[in-house]
Every structure is written in C-alpha cells, then in structure tokens.
Chains A and B, each alone.
Chain A
Amino acid sequence: MTALAVHPDAAALRSFALGRLPEDHRAEVEAHVAACGDCGRILEGAGGDSLLDLARRAAMSTPAPAGSETLGPDVESPPELSDHPRYRILGKLGAGGMGVVYKAEHRVMGRLVALKVLSPRTTAKRGAVDRFRREVRLASRLSHPNIVTAHDADEAGGLHFLVMEYVDGMSLDKLLDRKGSLPVTTVCHFIRQASLGLQHAFERGMVHRDIKPQNIMVTRKGAVKVLDFGLACVARDGDEATSATAAKVTSPDMVMGTPDFLAPEQAKCAVDVDIRADLYGMGGTLCYLLTGQPPFPGGTAFEKLMAHVTEPPPDIAQRRPEIPAALAAIVSKLLAKEPADRFATPAELAAVLLPFTKAATGNMALVPVLDAEVVAPFEAVPAFETMVEAPAKPRKKKAKKQPVPFYAKHRSKLIAAGIALALLAAAGFAANRLSGNRPDATASNPPTKTDSTNTTAISPAKTGQPSVLMVLAPNNLYLPDYHPVREELERNGVRVQTASMSKGPCEPHETTPGAPVVPDLAIKDVDPTKYDAVIFIGAGVWPYTAGPGAEDVRRIIGSLRDRGKIVAAICIGAQVLHQHNIINLQTVVPGKKFENSGVNRNGQVITGGTYTDAVPFAKEVVRAVKK
C-alpha cells in the first residue's frame, strides 16, 4: 500500500481516528500515519463522537435491560462497605466521573458523612492510590466554612473511599437547572463565598484544579461550600509520564467530562498550575451561573480546549443585559489567557465582588419604548396603590411594610434612573440582535406531553369564557405590572392562569415588596391551545429571551399567532416580544417621554408602557379576547 506523500487534512485525520473512512482510503492514511509524528499529535487530540461515547459507556457499565421492576429495596451500597466497622450506608447521593458518593452514618458517633468511593477504573491507574492518600492528607488540613471538610481516607476490600462532611444541599449547576435563572446578586454572593474558601486553601499551599459549578455546593441554609479539593489530580494522571516530548495540547481523554472551565495553562500542561488557574475556573463558573452557558459553549471537547487557549473571552453583558459593565469586566479579567493578567489571589476576587452582592439602589425596572398609534391616553394616577400593600399572611422572610408604596414616594428618582437604564437596555438589545445572538434553548427537560389535567386548584373554564395565560418572570417579578392586570382581567370575567420557568414561587423585584407569586404551571407544561391571549410580565425575563425558556416561549407565541390570538406584554415584559421579533423597541414616541407611551395595539399585539398603564392595558386585552 503506497503511503500518502502529503499529510492527510484535518478532516480526513479525524474521520480516520473515528473509523469513518472507507477502507481503501483508510488503509492509505494508516500507512502514512504509521511513520508520521505530526499526524500522530493531531490524532491524539481528535476527540470522539457518539459511537465512541457509546463504546466507552458500554465498556464501563453492565446495563440491566429496561422493564425491570425491583421487588425489594434496591441494594444501594457496594458489598465491600455493607459491613464496615465504622460507617453504615444510608443511601446513594450521586455519581460522578471518579466514583459514587453515598450518604452514611458513623455507627458510634451518629455523625452524617458522605463517602466518596473511587471507581476501580480510577484507582487502577498507576500511582493513583498514593496520590489519593497524599491529597487527602493535605485536604484534611483545610478547615473553613466554605470548604467541604475531608475527614478521612479509608479502604475496604480493595475499594478506596474518602470520608467527607455531609452537605445537605445541591451543587450550583443543579440549582441553576432547577430555578432557570439566578439573580446577579445571588450569584455574586455564592462566588464570593467560594472565593473565601479558595483563599483559605491557597494560604495552605493547595490548589483545587477543578473549579466548576458542579464542585460548588449550596446548603439549604444558604451556606456555600467548595467540594473535592485536590482530587482533580487523582483522576488526571500521567502528567509526570508524558512530559515535554508529547503533544502540548493535552488529549481530551485526560480531562474529566467536558473541559468547559479549564484554564488555558492547564490545557497546555497540567502539572504546574497555580491558584490563578482556579480563578479562571471561577470566571467560567460566574459566566455559567449568570448566563446559563460556559464561556465557550459550542464544539467538541477538543475545540473547547483550543478555545480556552486561543479565543478571546465573551463579554457576558452581551448575553444578559442586566449585568453591570463592571461585573462583566471582572469576569473578563478572570478569563484572561495569561495568569498574570488575572487577579493574584482569591481574596482579591472576594473583595471586588462585594459591592455586587448587595442590591444596588435606584435599580428600577426598565421601561421599553414603543412605536405604534396610541389607543388609550396616559393615566396620571397610578392605579396600584390600593392593591400593593403588605400581604395578609406573613411571609417567611421579612416583608418591608410601608405605609406609602416605595415607588410612589420616589417616583421621580426612579423614573430618572429608569430612563438612563432603558436607553442602555435599548442599546444592549440592538447590539444583541446585530451580533446575531439567538435565544439559547438549553432546556434541561425536553417538552413533555401537555396534560390537560395539569393545573392545580383552578376552577374549570365555563364554556365561552375567555382564558388568558400570564407568563411571569421567575425573579424580580414586577408586582405593580402583575396584580392590577390580573385583577382587571378577572373582574371582567376572564379566566387567568399563570406560568413561569418552574412551579416555584416568583420572587418580587426588590423595589416592589410583596408576597412571592406561585405560578399554576411550569412553562414547559403549557398547552397554548387553551388560551386566547398570552401576557408577559417582567422584569427578570432573561430566561424567556435568551435562556432555557426561550424555546417554550417561541412555541407558545407561535401557536397563539397561528390561531389569530392575542400576544401581549407590559413594561419589561415587552422585551420578550422584542427578542422574539414580535415588536420593535426602537423608536421613541415623538414629543413625549417614552414611559408615557401608554397602551398600544397593533393587530393582535398589545403592549403597555409601564405599571401606570396596567388597568387600561388589561382593559384592552379584555376587549380583544371578548370580540
């Protein structure tokens, strides 16, 4: 077989590596590759595809065919641990790349612990066990409220396991999945706490090496704890062996999972990284928690590694407009390619994040700008004063009871702030559209079959009674947009159902104190054919414009428009319509201040400018659905 005189191109090499080439071409490439070091280096990092994934999983697992119904309680724990003298296994907490984690109880002391049992695959690697023990010895020196404490390392019947503090909570990636989106201040608080833990470790000479949202936990009480210190190097072995002569770009096979949060210097040479690699990971984590995506979301593991090394970091303010520019700059600094360009220590990061953990003052919701003919005149008197008072039943958290609603008292200041922010937002949205950002549909659950018996405690619709769906922002819900509109609709015999990212309560915007609103449905369960209109209520509408809810919003709007039904929004909710190309928020109504734009109807689209338009807006919707 004659060898190819020139190198095969990258695509051919990749196909060769994955077994996709027809046999004669494959044999030619093989003959060339047998002697070519350059091609060898490329092949090493060629990545995988679905068949290779399947083969890997098949090699690891012993699948039990589906349809099995267990008759008794599942045996959760490995047999080697069932009779351990000190620990009694209570159940399984989860599984990761390195092994399975169990909840256990110290038989004598009764203390709850987590046992991380390393998979034989991990411990089979050369030197892994020694490395493991060494790391655990170091990690057990760490004692800080923001670090998950490692108590002990032990072994039973050949299974090596780590005894750790039991954390009653969930990792930040799961939290984000569950809530759909997290407020900026909350995210900054979490990361700041994690940085304090990281600083503690740094002062004791330890580097984490695997900072990512899956490794940061938050307890039910809100405490943040960093998990798995020093263990990253146990799974990624061979650093010592490969050394300088091997390919500079680490094979993706060495990296656990997808390298979404890996620092560039770690991608090049995993051995001598310092705490600043962890700061890069913090930057990636901040990016993920704020925008729902890691810094370089697309591509294969190999392409991501290359991106960390070569591509400039994203400007996260582009992905989520309400992120302050200063915070976006912090993230960019954390994601700098050169470690010297990042912060020097986690303590520095904690310090610069501090101002972003408090609610900023004057942070009023933004008012959109419309162009269309005015249907109802601007009403000067806010209609909400009668209804936005302290709730009848006490809230779990403290409620600010104010005799006069905050926004009435500070109207002019809020409006001024609102104008400035709205202009920024309009610019942000224009830039967003120009850069071609599509709403990112990363729904964690695929849409389920809609079930008409899904709703809870809602009186059945009388025949002929119009039905309206209100889609609510899961965070920063602007109550003076929501309550008056709903009450006006119901007062006029319209049936109202509410939906949000999940069925969990929608927290009100801090300038609009009141009880959280619990929606009837999660947006993925909405059957749009049941409604005559949909209304979007802001202010935290990012999940619907660019976040995980965007697909469902597209589906709902599409269905209603196909049936000639009404699509509506008030105040910030209009940004959802803008992002989904239903309206265009560009022109200021000439001769008037934009929040005076009032209520506008354009065909089957109705918009309200601000909370003061709530009642006339709702009346317009009523008129439209009753026709």
Chain B
Amino acid sequence: MLPTSASLLDRLHSPTDPAAWDRLTAVYSPLIRGWLQKQNVRNDDAEDLVQEVLIVVIRRIPEFQHNGRTGAFRAWLRMIAVNVSRDFWKAKRLRPAVVGGSDFGAVLDRLADSSDALSREWDKDHDLFVTRRLLELLRPQFEATTWTAFERFALKGEPAAVVAADLGITSNAIFIAKSRILTRLREEAAGLLDS
C-alpha cells in the first residue's frame, strides 16, 4: 500500500503530517552532519548544529514558497545551514577538531554565494545525497523482487532479459517496477531536486 502521493515538500507545509518531519530529518541530517564533519567540527558540536538547522527549517518553512525556480529549496536550505553555522562559529561555540584546520568562515562565505563553485558543488552533492537517501527510504515500501528488478535494470544497466531470467519474472514486470519506483521517487523529490 503506497503512502499519500503529495511531495515531501508539500507535506511539510501541512501541520497534520508529523511523519513528514521525520522524513525530512532522515533525509537531511546525514547530509548536514557529514558536511560539518568535513569542516572538522567536533561530533558533539555537529549534533547541536544539525538540530539547530533542522529547527530553523521547521520554523521557517511556512515562509518558504517554491516559486518554480530550479533549486529554490536547496538554495534556501544552504543559506539556513550557512547562517546557523556562522552564528555558532562567531559565538565561538565551535572548537576546531584539528589544530591549524581550515578557515570555517571563509568556507561559509563561499557557500553563501550561489555563483561560487563551492556552492554549486554543494548543490550537486545535495542532489546526489538526497536522491540516495530517498531511494533508501523508499526501498522498504516495495517488495524485494520489485526493488531488485528496478535496481539491476534501471540503475545498473543490466539487460531486462537477464534480470527477468534471474528473478523468475517477465521483462514487462521489470518495466512496471521501474515505472512505479520512479513515479514514487519523482513525487517525493518534487521541489527538493532540480529535476
């Protein structure tokens, strides 16, 4: 039984869907945490920061209007992460994990500039990461055979006939699996990703 068909972003606007917040956290916490760790932010500080960023997102999402511009949500999220991080850093609540580590402030400035190459890299990473997380989160909603068929045919590029023979299903069943999963992915990702 597939869940409701509105996109994650749409569901976040609705006050009656607490599961949507869990989903947002599940998708974005690892992304933000990983990024902070690369900045050599210590683990306990990083946890605080991740929570802080998500709280700001939750509080301010009613203000966020997706105006149809590509990457609007992603850029908005990036700015929140940058601003929250900068506040933390300025309040000297971040102790560098390594002596002589990179200048966090300089990195933040670059990430605040949408045209900076670093920013664009962040955007690309965001898309890849979110897609991966969404796929991971969608997987349990499908039967194992359906998912494996999709993964091997659509993602890894194996020929349909081989996959069909291995799994004991018809080729057409594989195309149907691909269609269903991509439909769900597209729904979930609407507004979060560029495509």
Contact = CB atoms under 8 A, between A and B. Distances in A.
B190 to A, nearest CB: 10
Nearest to A253: B157
A19 B186 contact: yes
A30 to B, nearest CB: 5
A64 interface: yes
B101 interface: yes
A67 B131 contact: no
Given A43-B175, A54-B195, A64 B34 contact: yes
A66 B122 contact: yes
Given A36-B172, A71-B101, A238 B162 contact: yes
Interface in A4-36: 16-21, 23, 26, 29-30, 33-36
A57 interface: yes
B128 A58 contact: yes
Interface stretch (A45-53, A217-225, A362-370): A45-53
A246 B159 contact: yes
Contacts of A392: none
Contact of A58 (B38, B135, B172): B135
B135 A55 contact: yes
A449 B135 CA distance: 37
A34 B159 contact: no
A500 interface: no
B118 A55 contact: no
A68 interface: yes
Contact of A30 (B153, B176, B195): B176
Contacts of A241: 159, 161-162, 165
Contact of A44 (B122, B128, B175, B181): B175
B101 to A, nearest CB: 7
Contact of B183 (A26, A39, A242, A253): A26
Contact of B127 (A26, A49, A54): A54
Q: Is the interface of A mostly helix, strand, loop or mixed?
A: helix
Interface string B96-124: 00100110000100110001001101101
B182 interface: yes
A63 interface: yes
Contacts of A56: 154-155, 157
Contacts of A246: 159-161
B181 A66 contact: no
Quick one: which of A52, A66, A241, A253 has the most chain B CB within 10 A?
A66
Given A50-B195, A52-B154, A251-B160, A34 B132 contact: no
A65 B161 contact: no
A392 to B, nearest CB: 42
A26 B2 CA distance: 14
Nearest to B155: A59
Contacts of A21: 179, 183
B101 A65 contact: no
Interface in B140-195: 151, 153-162, 165, 170-173, 175-176, 178-186, 189, 193-195
A597 to B, nearest CB: 46
Contact of B121 (A30, A55, A66, A254): A66
Q: How large is the interface on A (under 10, 10 to 19, 20 to 34, 35 or more residues)?
A: 35 or more
A27 B5 CA distance: 14
A253 B132 CA distance: 20
A65 B110 CA distance: 14
A46 B102 CA distance: 47
A97 to B, nearest CB: 10
Given A54-B195, A67-B39, A35 B172 contact: yes
Contacts of B119: 66
Contacts of A238: 158-159, 161-162
Nearest to B32: A65
Q: How large is the interface on B (under 10, 10 to 19, 20 to 34, 35 or more residues)?
A: 35 or more
Nearest to A255: B157
B12 to A, nearest CB: 20
B158 A30 contact: no
Contacts of A29: 179
B76 interface: no
Contacts of B39: 67-68
A44 B160 contact: yes
Interface string A175-205: 0000000000000000000000000000000
A444 interface: no
Given A19-B184, A34-B173, A65-B35, A242 B162 contact: yes
Nearest to A20: B186
| Residue of B107, B119, B151, B179 most packed against chain A (CB within 10 A) | B179
A63 B128 contact: yes
A61 interface: yes
B129 interface: yes
A212 B170 CA distance: 35
B80 interface: no
Given A63-B129, A66-B35, A17 B162 contact: no
A71 B100 CA distance: 9
A121 interface: yes
A68 B107 CA distance: 9
A61 B128 contact: yes
Contacts of A20: 183, 186
B87 interface: no
Given A40-B175, A58-B132, A65 B34 contact: yes
B24 interface: no
Nearest to B82: A67
B31 interface: yes
Contacts of A66: 35, 111, 118-119, 121-122, 124-125
B174 to A, nearest CB: 9
Contact of B158 (A35, A50, A55, A125): A125
A95 to B, nearest CB: 16
Given A23-B5, A66-B125, A67-B107, A55 B154 contact: yes
A272 interface: no
A562 interface: no
Contacts of A40: 170-172, 175
Nearest to B115: A449
Contact of B179 (A17, A50, A58): A17
A54 B185 CA distance: 11
Interface in B65-104: 98, 101-102
Given A55-B131, A59-B156, A241-B162, A19 B183 contact: yes
B185 A55 contact: yes
A69 interface: yes
Contact of A51 (B102, B171, B185): B185
Please give me the 9 A-B residue pairs with the lowest Cβ-Cβ distance, nearest first: A19-B182, A68-B38, A65-B35, A19-B183, A66-B121, A253-B157, A58-B131, A66-B122, A58-B132
Interface of A: 16-21, 23, 26, 29-30, 33-37, 39-40, 43-44, 49-52, 54-59, 61, 63-69, 71, 121, 125-126, 237-238, 241-242, 246, 251, 253-254, 449
Interface of B: 5, 31-32, 34-35, 38-40, 98, 101-102, 107, 110-111, 115, 118-119, 121-122, 124-129, 131-132, 135, 151, 153-162, 165, 170-173, 175-176, 178-186, 189, 193-195
13 contacts: A19-B183, A21-B179, A43-B175, A51-B189, A57-B131, A65-B122, A65-B125, A66-B118, A71-B102, A237-B158, A238-B159, A242-B161, A253-B154
Given A34-B176, A54-B128, 4 more contacts: A17-B182, A59-B135, A67-B38, A251-B160
